[in-house]
Chain A
Amino acid sequence: MTTLRFSYQTKVEFSGDVTNHAFLLRSFPIEEKGQKVLDLMHTNFPIVTGGQYLKDGFGNTVYTGRIDRGHDSFTYKVIGTVIRDDSKKSFEKPLPSYRYPSELTKASPEIINFHKNLNLPSNHYEAARIISKAVYDYMIYETGTTGIFTTAADSFKGRKGVCQDYAHLMLALCRLSKIPARYVCGITIGEGETHAWVEIWNEGYWYGFDPTRNCFVDEGYIKFCIGRDYNDCPIQRGIFNGDVLQRQSVYMEVTKLKEALLA
């Protein structure tokens, strides 16, 4: 059992004023047996009208709101405490859609070939471990070469990408083996940006794999949202009026509570 204190903040800056800004956020820890939320505080700037929390089709908490008056930046911050416990897992039946390729995780002939050469065992968990390692070995971590709409097929071709691309490629490979697998977005111990990883389903339970870091997901990971791929669960999306450029800066920090108290 691990108690984590986290703070997550995103600031979007526009090069001029924007109006009629409608947005949606999925930046709140998921509530489940292995992840309990002790306290949570969510603030926005400037002031949001009509903000509402609701679940989406995957059970993610979605906050929607709008800022109609002109503004040239938007900041939201979520702070909270979470208890993570990997010895407690919920027994679940996966959505069948987790077994089928989604828009960003369709396998190309090259990926199918790569999959074939892995000679995977039939056990889901064992197979996922091999896939995760293979993705880690194959890909080269490099920012700026891919974007949020890059498909697994494209990043496979270029061999370069970031955590999202690693996750998409792993999902494509798992689904080729008919292993139910889902995309996870969240934050991890340390500081910096958000992270993406994969969960695979094996005999009633979900297990997390992090192909970017070549490791299992442990109690240092906090889950924000899940889906078949990135498209199903972007952490944030906004639509506004205004012909502007935008720049986004994300900052998150996760610490073990004991250490935080000592510090």
Chain B
Amino acid sequence: MERLLNHKSQINNQMARYGVKFGIYKDGEFLERLFPFDPIPRKITAPDYEKLEKGLIQRVTALNAFLNDIYNNKKILVDKIIPEEFIYRSPGYLSACENFSPEKKIHSHISGIDLVLGKDGKWYILEDNLRIPSGASYPLIARSLCRKCSPDTFRNNEVVDNRNYGQLLKETFDNVNKGGINVIYTPGRFNAAYFEHSFLAEKSGAVLAEFDDLFVENNTLYYKSSKGPVRVGAIYRRISDEFLDPLTFRSDSLIGIPGIMMAYRAGNVAILNAPGNGVADDKGIYYFVPKMIRYYLDEEPILDNAPTYLPFYKEDLNYTLENFDKLVIKDVAEAGGYGVVFARELTKARKEEFIEKIKKEPRRFIAQEVIDFEDLPIVEGSETVDRKADLRAFVLAGRKTKLWPSGLTRFSRNPDSFVVNSSQGGGFKDTWIMSH
């Protein structure tokens, strides 16, 4: 361990050389930042991991069943487990996905589930990311650099190898491939996660394609290789739904692939993750995930949500207003740590304004108890300090649904902040799953 700590600056320098960067938008400007790495790993014990594994696989399985149901039979709405409002007023619901089941009924192939470990020793799910969750490449490259800098560390600690992510991703691709090559589609160099796109393409053996490398003909997707067009069987697209196909969604999208939605509906290409998943990782829908697990799987949820209230329900609205100061309020339409408000931090005027907003548009907000989650030590200068940290776990739905034995641990660099999203300028750690 000590040896690893001594290598902090060396590893960060190496990562800078490799271009391990994260882009953020600040005041409307795109800035590329290095994603600061902290050498002290988060350790998860084997029994703890086993529970996470079962719980996360259960959750993703239910979410996939939900997505397939919503775009086809809508049983969960007919049975009134979830109010229709939460589906059809969600910006993530896409009518273009109605009446269609993707290959093997998998909608969320790569899911990034965010959790925190409460001081009570329990893991809590904070949110599900089922669209294009990023971040797997960071612990992957950090681990490989750590191995190089300090091989002994991994000889003396029994850490589960995480280098199989590329293989898992390849299996996930191959499982739904409709005949043709696997492609990772990136919006290009100016995207926040470009480093990750190229890295994952290399690790999974997929072709990295940019705008203009792909086209649709005969409702079939092709890659323009140096030897002529090659059919694409599966595409892991790292652009959001609204930009995916200018013939179906935003017509002003310059980074989309015209006609891909019809190629997808024709069953000629698999899209990872499927379009329309936003309806399932909406913060309002989050409240209903434990109900989905019971409804589709007839099982009790293994992992808990953070205690959440839906002002949409009268009872919950009253609770929210009575306990306003101790709650965290989230705007369901926002992502990346934006639109998260700790009520106790608001001025009196802002608070009143906010309460009015909730009363007026209850469907737009959720309220949650602030979970006192664990601090992890990070190295700052010559000393070690404690900072809030969460975990993004990656679940891949291939022939079997699997949890990747690693994950992205993000920490807040600001000692007073509970928001650990990388868009908000935090750092990251490697996540060690211990074999004992």
Contact = CB atoms under 8 A, between A and B. Distances in A.
Contacts of A238: 247
Contact of A97 (B93, B100, B215, B259): B93
Nearest to A51: B218
Residue in A52, A58, A96, A227 with the greatest tally of chain B CB atoms within 10 Å: A52
A2 B217 CA distance: 38
A212 interface: no
B258 interface: yes
A149 to B, nearest CB: 9
Contacts of A101: 89
A54 B265 contact: yes
A96 B87 contact: yes
A12 B40 CA distance: 63
B215 A99 contact: no
A239 B246 contact: yes
Contacts of B251: 237, 239
B81 interface: no
A100 B247 contact: no
B77 interface: yes
B100 A57 contact: yes
B90 to A, nearest CB: 10
Contact of A52 (B85, B93, B219, B248): B219
B97 A57 contact: yes
A58 B215 contact: no
Given A54-B219, A64-B219, A96 B84 contact: yes
B335 interface: no
B19 to A, nearest CB: 31
A54 B258 contact: no
Contacts of B97: 57
A144 interface: no
A108 to B, nearest CB: 14
B119 interface: no
A100 B88 contact: yes
Nearest to B218: A50
Interface in A72-108: 95-97, 99-101
Contact of B258 (A22, A57, A97, A99): A22
B95 A227 contact: yes
A247 B259 CA distance: 23
Contact of B95 (A64, A66, A232): A232
Contacts of B219: 50, 52, 54, 64
B266 interface: yes
Chain B contact residues (Cβ within 8 angstroms of A): what range?
20 to 34
B74 A96 contact: yes
Nearest to A98: B88
Chain A contact residues, majority secondary structure: strand
Interface string B195-230: 000000000000000000001111110000000000
Interface in A52-74: 52, 54-59, 62, 64, 66
B99 A57 contact: yes
Interface string B234-251: 000000000000111001
B95 A97 contact: yes
A239 B247 contact: yes
Contact of A59 (B84, B99, B217): B99
B16 interface: no
A118 to B, nearest CB: 23
Contacts of A56: 96, 262, 265
A49 B265 CA distance: 19
A20 interface: yes
B369 to A, nearest CB: 30
Contact of B215 (A20, A62, A100): A20
Interface in A189-229: 227-228
Nearest to B77: A96
B98 interface: yes
Question: Which of B87, B219, B220 has the most chain A CB atoms inside 10 A of its CB?
Answer: B219
A24 interface: yes
B223 to A, nearest CB: 15
Interface string B83-121: 011011100010111111000000000000000000000
A238 B74 CA distance: 33
A12 to B, nearest CB: 14
Contact of B259 (A55, A64, A99): A64
A-B complex: 7 closest residue pairs judged by Cβ atoms = A57-B98, A50-B217, A22-B258, A100-B88, A50-B218, A52-B219, A239-B258
Interface of A: 20, 22-24, 49-50, 52, 54-59, 62, 64, 66, 95-97, 99-101, 227-228, 232, 237-239
Given A22-B215, A62-B262, A99-B88, 4 more contacts: A50-B219, A52-B266, A55-B265, A232-B96
10 contacts: A20-B215, A24-B259, A24-B262, A54-B262, A54-B265, A56-B96, A59-B99, A66-B216, A96-B87, A97-B95
